[in-house]
Amino acid sequence: MLLVLGRRVSLSFVKRVSTCYPALLSKPVLLNLKTVKFKKRHTVFVSAASQNTNTMPERRPFVRLPTDVYPVNYGLCLKPDLIDFTFEGKLEAVVEVTQATNQIVMNCADIDIITASFAPEGGEGEEINATGFNYQNEDEKVTLSFPSALQKGSGTLKIDFVGELNDKMKGFYRSKYATLAGEIRYAAVTQFEATDARRAFPCWDEPAIKATFDITLIVPKDRVALSNMNVIDRKPYPDDDSLVEVKFATTPIMSTYLVAFVIGEYDFVESQSSDGVIVRVYTPIGKAEQGKFALEVATKTLPFYKDYFNVPYPLPKIDLIAIADFAAGAMENWGLVTYRETALLIDPKNSCSSSRQWVALVVGHELAHQWFGNLVTMEWWTHLWLNEGFASWIEYLCVDHCFPEYDIWTQFVSADYTRALDLDALDNSHPIEVNVGHPSEVDEIFDAISYSKGASVIRMLHNYIGDEDFRKGMNAYLLKFQHKNASTEDLWDCLEQASGKPIAAVMGSWTKQMGFPIIVVDQEQQGDDRVLKISQKKFCASGPHNGEDCPSWMVPVSICTSEDPSCTKLKVLLDRPETTITLSNISSEQWVKINPGTVGFYRIQYSSSMLESLLPGIRDLTLQPVDRLGLQNDLFSLSRAGMISTVEVLKLMEAFVNEPNYTVWSDLSCNLGVLSSLLSHTDFHEEIQEFIRDLFTPIGLKLGWDSKQGEGHLDALLRGLVLGKLGKAGHKPTLEEARRRFKDHVEGKQILSADLRSPVYLTVLKHGDSATLDTMLKLHKQADMQEEKNRIERVLGAISAPDLIQKVLNFALSEEVRPQDTVSVIGGVAGSSKQGRKAAWKFVKDNWEELHNRYQGGFLISRLIKLSVDGFAVDKMAAEVKSFFESHHAPAAERTVQQCCENILLNAAWLKRDADDIHQYLLQRKAPPV
């Protein structure tokens, strides 16, 4: 699954612990059998609501499903009602009873079972009707009781059931869309990862309990019906001539969380990959053209992965489909990959460069899962990171293959690597591998540690092993475990055999303990040799770890010199607290750099003489772009941790005045944004704006407003970044030009190019009034493309008048904004100003019940909390946030709340420590020389 995290949109989930109420149906349930009536049910209600006390609820010990009965094949027929938002289901599962039992325990949530029976194979006994259904709602399980024991052997479990097409973006749910004529309709779609297949049909909803699936959907005949496999039969439904019965081919053996079905109205574009797989991209009606870019990426990507893994794609087709209401970024259902519209659709005229890049990455991510996750699946959610970390790494390899001009690996460092370092430096981080039990705990680990740290340590591992042995090990792993389940250790074994290196020992230190080291380096020249003293200790966001029991890592350390900055001169494995390394034939004027390519997952603290010698490499660009970025990012995080003064970082930033690289500017811009947000709590916020204007003006003048011949993807991204930064910081010429171009755009005289829209919208809103906001809301209403709506939603928060801020917050919860996008509107308000931050937090508290009900745990609720409160910098706010969530439980966001409180305290300490020095520096850099 792809998340929508921080700087890029990142994905994860929405979960809840719920009570299961009987679906109230106004008419008898019509399946292709007989009319069924509700039986009296033996129900145990465990209501989540009844536990709303003021202490954290104790989690009951979690127990996985018993193994005495397991499924071999699910024969599943579903009949959704797109008007009443209910569905009827009929399950006929071939099961194996491994020891005699008079009950079957399955997962089941928000579903009502009407009848259940068990028929032994070959008619060797009577069909036995279940006499009781005991729902354990908190555990999302049901126990079917039988009057006599089911004997060892095969049999068929038959269950008739009904459920609700919910509006929670999980399980089998409804997704709202408008027809070309403007009529509101609903599609029925699915999102099962991690634990929501049980909301669509009773099942053994654990990744290791794999089976095959025969799926039939009974749907209106004018709707498209899709599932994991190709359609093998489509015929009129006997009881209602407005319906058809659509039957799909049998799936390979697979996990429940990868099952999918979609019923709705769609157009598609189709192609065939060079290895013969039929690829379709399904789009909203009338927008087939917008599927062509993703289709091109997908048809290039499938053969790339086939060659890379040396294993063919195992299904006859793959569909990629844009879903209107979708919580994550995308979901890798086998053969039917679902996406947010903005992660799949590209309009050649109205999509910006960053959207094209995002679509390429998300398609690369989800298609990688078809092998890594779907063909070989993690044994339990503890190993989720293997799925997500791996896909988050290889999506970049794939995009680099398809679009070398994106310089995507440099962007990886800014988008994933540094984000993971920031989160993992917190005391409230977690190891990559987390023991999880209850479904609400599973959702918590869909975060930047599983995805971005996972991807970063796999990148480090790939670099340590080398591509050839890495591919050899991957191929062995996929062949050994195809159609089965595997754990992290299984992958290490295969890579160890392929490479002959101690993979398990090295990687265990990165996946089983949280955090990472800071590598402290000093040097001494001895004749023609350079002697380096290198040591490691745990890096913490609050400063270096000085405790007794300091953890240590097995750290692959690479070293380069100014002789050839892009070539590693020496590699060592630092497997102890400190060591000494001698580099021969290095003259005293040459510099030495640790971690070329910024591949190793650690921060570096150089001695002052080593740092001094590296700084000219920033001004004269002799250091690689990724290393210029890494150096700046390391120093910035050391300043936040109180290990150096922030003034030192500001001085370093001024050395980037000749910087040409987009990603380096992007990371600088991000860190200046953090600093600007921090200093909004002081009375010299304007001085940091002036610093930003001075730093970005030269590159802004050089780029200008209009693209020049011969420019490419990265120039477009850089222009948007720089103009947005200057406009937001109040650079007068930029503001005037943005206003002029905005007026022409609104009047239809000269439409803004897609790449200029975000910076222009942001600039005019930041310095705008109620008329500007009204114009922007009108543009939002008129926008036909979700990308344009999202673009506007993300910048609305820049408005500065208190009454208009409130208007934007109210708009966030209106019908105009799709439920998954409300979070980015509120986040935009919180991130734009001190007033916005206060107003957004108050709004979240005032509307908590509605927001929590809407996202019910999971990824979006965590993201909402983080965006709303992370920017505070006063100790008492940490106490207020903690206290609020003690009385308003959000189980899936517990760790996020702890991380936010920690960040607030870190911000407060940073401000106390450095504010005066920063102020003095900003004043004296403007003072005329005496």
Instruction: Looking at 370-502, list the stretches that DSSP marks H as alpha helix, in order from N- to C-terminal side.
Output: 384-402, 408-412, 418-424, 439-444, 448, 454-465, 467-481, 488-499
Helices 754-766 & 732-746 angle (0-180, nearest 10): 110
Residue 291: helix, strand or coil by DSSP?
A: helix
Q: Which two tokens stand for residue 830?
A: 């919180």
Task: Tell me the pairing of strands 484-486 and 376-378.
Answer: parallel
CA distance 198 to 519: 47
Q: Which residue has the tokens 């299984």?
A: 490
Q: Which residue has the tokens 């970082």?
A: 649
Complete edge-to-edge strand list for the sheet that includes strand 555-561: 570-574, 555-561, 592-594
What's the DSSP call for residue 370?
Answer: T
Residue 588: helix, strand or coil by DSSP?
A: coil
CA distance 739 to 760: 8
DSSP per position, 728-787: HTT-HHHHHHHHHHHHHHHTTSSPPPHHHHHHHHHHHHHT--HHHHHHHHHHHHH--SHH
Q: Output the CA–CA distances (angstroms, integers) from residue 4 to 108, 177, 180, 331, in the order listed.
A: 28, 22, 29, 12
CA distance 301 to 258: 20
Q: Which two tokens stand for residue 169?
A: 């973006």
Q: Which two tokens stand for residue 475?
A: 């191929």
Q: Which residue has the tokens 């908190």?
A: 138
Ramachandran assignment for 707, one of left (phi > 0), alpha (psi -120 to 50 degrees), beta (any other): beta
CA distance 287 to 281: 11
Q: Is position 366 annotated as part of the catalytic site?
A: yes
Q: Which residue has the tokens 């009529």?
A: 183
Residues 6+ apart with CB under 8 A from 80: 86, 87, 165, 172, 188, 217, 219, 263
24: exposed, middle or buried (Cβ count in 10 Å: 0-12, 13-18, 19+): exposed
Contact in structure between 379 and 487 (CB atoms under 8 Å)? yes
Q: Which two tokens stand for residue 742?
A: 């905005």
CA distance 89 to 199: 11
CA distance 893 to 444: 6
Ramachandran assignment for 36, one of left (phi > 0), alpha (psi -120 to 50 degrees), beta (any other): beta
* Catalytic pick among 366, 388, 687, 787: 366
Helices 353-369 & 292-309 angle (0-180, nearest 10): 40
Backbone φ, ψ for residue 80 (5° rounding): -80, 145
Contact in structure between 230 and 238 (CB atoms under 8 Å)? no
Q: Output the CA–CA distances (angstroms, integers) from residue 720 to 23, 269, 275, 694, in the order listed.
A: 51, 31, 39, 17
Catalytic residues: 366
